[in-house]
Structure 1
Amino acid sequence: MKRLCITRKLFLLAFIVFFSPPPVSATNAELTLAIADSTCSTIKQVGKIFSRQTNIKLNYICQSSGLLVKGIIEEAILPDYFLSANKKWMNIVVEAGYVDSAAVTTNWGNQLVVTSFPSKTGDLQLQGLADLLTPSVEKVLIGDPEIAPYGAYAKQALVNADMWEKIQPKLKISPKISLSIRSLKKLSLTTPCIVAFLYKTNISDKMQIHFAVPQNLYPRINYFSAPLIRSVQKTEMALFLDFIRGDKASSIFESAGFVVNLPAQSHH
């Protein structure tokens, strides 16, 4: 009888081991994401749900697209996935052999706006780009056009509006969008008439959008993303790509104000 009980316990143990459904990720796998700073908050929201469902840890490197590319090419960072805020920087890593062009997709878009903190600027009323040249505006914050796509888009809009040279004395440059927002908030305390060029998705409830930059003055803003060829976490990456392009992630991006491009567009 005792032997029968032991045999039955061993059978039950074997059944649990061999027939229980495995977790999505049986190992302590990790993925490192190099993502454009303007998407950092939203990607982290999506990533939190993904990690909870799959047991895959996500590490985030949030910087301007240009700095991320510099880190990838110099191998100062070793990400599994790259998300660029424009096509230029994605093309560079494709041409350098770090990303397969067939794997690049465009899932989200954005819009450029001029914004300020209304409690600091008082009755500052702006209707369009030309108003930035008036005495009512003392400082204009933009991203560094050499490394930050949101700065490159702003520069292109100002060049096409024939304002780039005229607005130079008012410009203050930031390397990434989170620093632009921080500077805008801090400088608003001492410089009440200060505004910034930012993406629409980075505007908080405490900020005021004065106007959207006319779309005919700069290229349509699209984000380009792809896994890196050298990533060894192929299974985990496939799960992440399916999730990031799925309905749940798309809903989160849409709620954050991004333009969601569905179905996912592939750029060969």
Structure 2
Amino acid sequence: MKQNRNFIVGITAILIIMMLASGCVNKPSEQTEPTQITVSAASTLTESFEEIVEQFKIENPEIDVQLNLASSGALRMQIEAGAPIDVFASASQQHMNLLDEKEMIVKDSRTDFAQNSMVLIVPITSELEITSVDSLLNDSVKRFVISDPEISPAGTYSKQSLVESGLWNELEGKAVLAETVKQVLVYVERGEVDAGFVFMTDAKIAKKDTIKIISTIPTSTDISYPITVLESSEHKKESQMFVDFVTGQKGRSILESHGFTA
């Protein structure tokens, strides 16, 4: 009897081993890690893209989106330096064109998804008579701020408008350069400068009772925002899904709620 029991136990052990080897015994299910993509977006898109990413993740839990925010020029230079970025959303056609010339973008994925405008703002406590851009010529105006035209589209549009209106040469000495348009807004909110140039969407998110919008600034070109998948992306399918979401109905709705024209 004892030998029979040992024989049965041995046979059972062999069968179990064979079943495990053949996959007949169910193993605990392994959870698949979400695919991670990095989206680099112009700083003026901060609030709208934070909401877009949040909604996209809800609908696509298998994709983890990391948001990288800075001036468009700084983001372009990161991409050129080989940073692992999958999607680029720029506040300037110029920076996108530079990447396109270097064949660093997926051309078929590039599309314009939003428009904006430039405005002149002043601290709400200002007692200076600033009613237009021409008012910046007044001796009472000591400093105004724009974002750096070399790296920030907002600065490029601001300087371009002043040059085209013939005011830049007279005003350049009063200009303070900020790294991003968000910094421009902060300087004006704090009353550290007499005036500043920001996107309309940035003016709309200013802290309550900190600024006044004086006027819209004319620009010779439309302020449009392009978005694209990058050639270096290892997750082009998931990246295109994000681009499609931004340009789709829900993405447009979010952008419009933040003051953009989608």
Which TM-score bucket, shorter chain as reference? Answer: 0.7 to 0.9
In the comparison of the two structures, how many residue pairs are matched?
229
Structure 1 position 141 matched with structure 2 position 145: yes
Per-residue CA shift, 1:198-227, capped at 9, x if unaligned?
000001243211110124xx3210011101
Structure 1 counterpart SS, 2:69 = strand
Q: Could you say which residue in structure 2 is the equivalent of 1:157?
A: 161
Q: Is the 8 A contact 2:119 2:213 kept in 1?
A: yes
2:186 matched residue in structure 1: 182
Counterparts of 1:42-81 in structure 2 under 5 Å?
42-55=48-61, 56-75=63-82, 77-81=83-87
User: Within 5 A, what are the aligned runs for 1:120-135?
Assistant: 120-121=125-126, 123-135=127-139
CA offsets, 1:5-36, max 9 Å, x none? xxxxxxxxx9xx9xxxxxxx964111101111
TM-score where L is the length of structure 2? 0.82
Greater shift, 79-88 or 134-143, is seen at: 134-143
Higher mean C-alpha displacement, 161-170 vs 230-239: 230-239
Q: Give the aligned partner of residue 91 of structure 2.
A: 85
C-alpha distance in 2, partners of 1:69/1:175?
A: 15
- How far does the alpha carbon of each residue in 1:161-195 deviate from its partner, in whole angstroms, 9 at most, with x for none? 11111002211001111222222233x15x5xx11
Question: What does 1:186-225 align with in structure 2 at a 5 Å threshold?
Answer: 186=190, 188=191, 194-203=194-203, 204=206, 205-206=208-209, 207-215=211-219, 218-225=220-227
Q: Deviations over 1:73-97 (max 9, x none)?
A: 111x211000111111001111112
TM-score calculated relative to the size of structure 1: 0.80
Q: CA deviation at 1:229?
A: 1.3
Does the 8 Å contact 2:115/2:223 carry over to 1?
yes
In the alignment, is the contact (CA less than 8 A) between 2:39 and 2:66 conserved in 1? yes
The percent of aligned pairs where both chains have the same amino acid is: 26
Letter of the 1:44 partner, please give it: E
Provide the C-alpha distance between the structure 1 equivalents of 2:38 and 2:144, rounded to a whole number of angstroms: 34
Structure 1 Cα separation of the partners of residues 89 and 134 of structure 2 = 33
Report the secondary structure of 2:96's partner residue.
Answer: helix
Greater radius of gyration (CA): 2
The answer as to 2:234 corresponding to 1:232 is yes
Q: Which amino acid aligns with 1:28?
A: P
Change in Cα spacing, 1:153 to 1:35, as seen in structure 2 (3 Å) is: same
Distance 1:127 1:214, change over 3 A: farther
Q: Which runs of 5+ in 1 are unaligned?
A: 1-13, 18-24, 261-268
From 239, 257, 267, the counterpart of 2:259 = 257
The Cα of 1:136 is off from its aligned counterpart by 3.6
Q: Is residue 125–residue 210 contact of structure 1 (8 Å, CA) maintained in 2?
A: no
Q: Deviations over 1:221-257 (max 9, x none)?
A: 0011101112122332232122111111111111111
**Separation (CA, whole Å) in 1 of partners of 2:123 and 2:254:** 25
8 Å Cα contact 1:86/1:223 also seen in 2:
yes
Q: Deviations over 1:135-173 (max 9, x none)?
A: 342211001111111001011100011111100221100
- Structure 2 CA distance for aligned equivalents of residues 197 and 166 of structure 1: 17
Q: Which runs of 5+ in 2 are unaligned?
A: 1-25
Distance in 2 of aligned mates of 1:235 and 1:73: 22
